[in-house]
A = this chain, B = another copy of it.
Amino acid sequence: MENLILDGRVVAGNVKDRLKERVATLVNKGVTPCLATILVGDDPSSETYVRMKGNACEKIGIKSMRIHLPKETTTEELLEKINELNADETVHGILLQHPVPSHIDERKAFEAIDIHKDVDGVTSLGYGQTAFGFGKYPSCTPAAIMEILDYYNIPVEGKHAVVIGRSPILGKPVSALLLNKNATVTTCHSRTTNLADVVKLGDIVVAAVGKPKFIQGNWIKKGAVVLDAGYNKGNIGDVDYDACLENASAITPVPGGVGPVTISMLLKHTVDAAEEMINK
């Protein structure tokens, strides 16, 4: 079967190209879009992610304000820092890298981020607005999945989309976005019985479980579109790629699929937020 490999690097490049001009316009008006990233503690993968995001900002002219707090930081200290960034008019977006150390109330910290600066789409308010169809900054990986579908002109309306995973930043918001694009949406998770049969219903399958090669080839309906939001140790996705290739009409690889587009969505939201702020 002829497969279309959904190339996230191409999609991300396209997004970033369109952003450069908008950044230049903002800078001409005296505003440099700025993303503040907060890293708490010394988790090496978190450090890598934050650095990648910061570097991606700088490459297209977005200022990267990198805040690194010690792992002993308390919830109150973190909230104080977030409130400071909420009040800082030079900051347009705030990203709190997760997971934070376990003694911190992560949800409370997320919820403290001002909705106008929640470019990573982590607040319950942002999620609710997205689900109701007027959210400005959906969570970045779900936004990336929609961007890939859009870039490759893959129809969503009337399709049956099956999302495996229900996390607040991935499974839930991608289900909401697909529903808003008129897909029939089934959300599955660890308590789903007959997962293989349910996945087989999907014209569009989104894997967001966080388990390497979890989605098997024979679960995929012939001709389905497979989007792998997994990113497990060793650059391995949630999908058994080679096996799923047999049945999928289109599929995202890992790496080079959803990942790069996710970062480009973060940049786009930061630029959107900067434009919103000067148009207020």
The residues in A between 160 and 197 inclusive whose CB is less than 8 angstroms from any CB of B are 160, 166, 168, 172, 175-176, 179, 182, 184-189, 191-193
Question: Does A131 contact B185, Cβ atoms closer than 8 Å?
Answer: no
- B134, A107: Cβ atoms closer than 8 Å: yes
* B residues less than 8 Å from A193 (CB atoms): 158, 184
Copies in the complex: 2
* CB-defined contacts of A182 to chain B, threshold 8 Å: 189, 191
Q: Within 8 Å of chain B (Cβ to Cβ): is A42? A: no
* Chain B residues with CB below 8 A from A187, complex form: 175, 179, 184-186
Pairs A–B under 8 Å by Cβ, sample size 22: A124-B125, A124-B135, A125-B125, A125-B128, A127-B131, A131-B168, A132-B168, A158-B191, A158-B193, A160-B198, A166-B179, A179-B187, A179-B189, A182-B189, A184-B186, A184-B188, A184-B189, A184-B191, A184-B192, A184-B198, A185-B187, A186-B186
A150 on the interface (CB 8 Å rule)?
Answer: no
CB distance from A138 to the nearest CB of B (A): 12
Kindly list the 10 A-B residue pairs having the minimum CB-CB distance in the complex, ordered from nearest.
Answer: A128-B128, A124-B128, A182-B191, A186-B186, A127-B128, A184-B192, A125-B125, A158-B193, A124-B129, A124-B132
Within 8 Å of chain B (Cβ to Cβ): is A230? Answer: no
At the interface, is chain A mostly helix, strand, loop or mixed? mixed
Judged by a CB distance under 8 angstroms, whether A249 is at the interface is no
Task: A198 to B162: give the CA distance in the assembly, Å.
Answer: 13
Q: Which of A8-50 contact B (CB under 8 A)?
A: none
Q: Does A242 contact B (CB under 8 A)?
A: no
CB neighbours of A134 from chain B (8 A): 107, 124
In the assembled complex, A157 has its CB within 8 A of some CB on chain B: yes
How far in angstroms is the closest Cβ of chain B from A106? Answer: 12
Which residues of A from 94 to 139 have beta carbons under 8 Å from B? 107, 123-129, 131-132, 134-135
